Homo-oligomer: A and B are copies of this chain.
Amino acid sequence: MQLALALAKEAAEDGEVPVGCVIAGPDGAVIGTGRNRRESDSDATAHAEMEAIRAACSALGSWRLTGCSLYVTLEPCPMCAGAVINARVSRLYYGAREPNSGCCGSVLNLFMERFGFEPRIEGGVCEPACSALLRSFFETRRSREVRL
């Protein structure tokens, strides 16, 4: 999760909502990383998890990420939770909860639906650091907006 946090900080420096993601292969080696690039790429699908999943699939030469672990600083949205299901990621670790779009229980638990696949999930991993980064990003943005 430390590497995911570093990627989230990079996103913030770029003016993006700070979210970072890392995927470890079955042997624990990093096989995919990603960070939010929605604004800079003008792409609604450019979330951290999507970039990391694509990179991990490319590294393994397979759309199946069975045995892999995904670490993300923020609870996944429906698109990213759906991609976790599609890629058969075995373990999902997330940091801060996302009350408006989180799909590990905040809005709904997508993994409890009848999609025939459910990873092992653990939330709240490095939660204080993940939440602090998001809070600081939005506070800075708000204070800039007040000054304008």
Interface residues of A (CB under 8 A from B): 38-39, 41-47, 50, 53-54, 57-58, 60-65, 77-83, 85-88, 100-101, 103, 107-108, 110, 113-116
Q: Which of B41, B60, B78, B85 contacts A85 (CB 8 A)?
A: B78
Contact between chains at B113 and A83 (CB < 8 Å): no
* Chain B contacts for A78, CB-based, 8 A: 78-79, 81-82, 85, 110, 113, 115
Contact between chains at A44 and B64 (CB < 8 Å): yes
CB distance from A72 to the nearest CB of B (A): 15
Which of A38, A47, A60, A78 gathers the greatest number of chain B CB atoms within 10 Å? A78
CB distance from A37 to the nearest CB of B (A): 10
Copies of this chain present: 2
* Chain B contacts for A80, CB-based, 8 A: 79, 82
The answer to whether A45 and B53 touch (CB under 8 A), given A77-B82, A79-B85, A100-B116, is: yes
* Chain B contacts for A50, CB-based, 8 A: 45
Q: A44-B63, A45-B50 are in contact. List 15 more A-B contacts (CB 8 A).
A: A39-B63, A42-B63, A43-B58, A43-B63, A44-B57, A44-B87, A45-B53, A45-B87, A78-B78, A78-B85, A78-B110, A79-B81, A79-B83, A100-B115, A101-B115
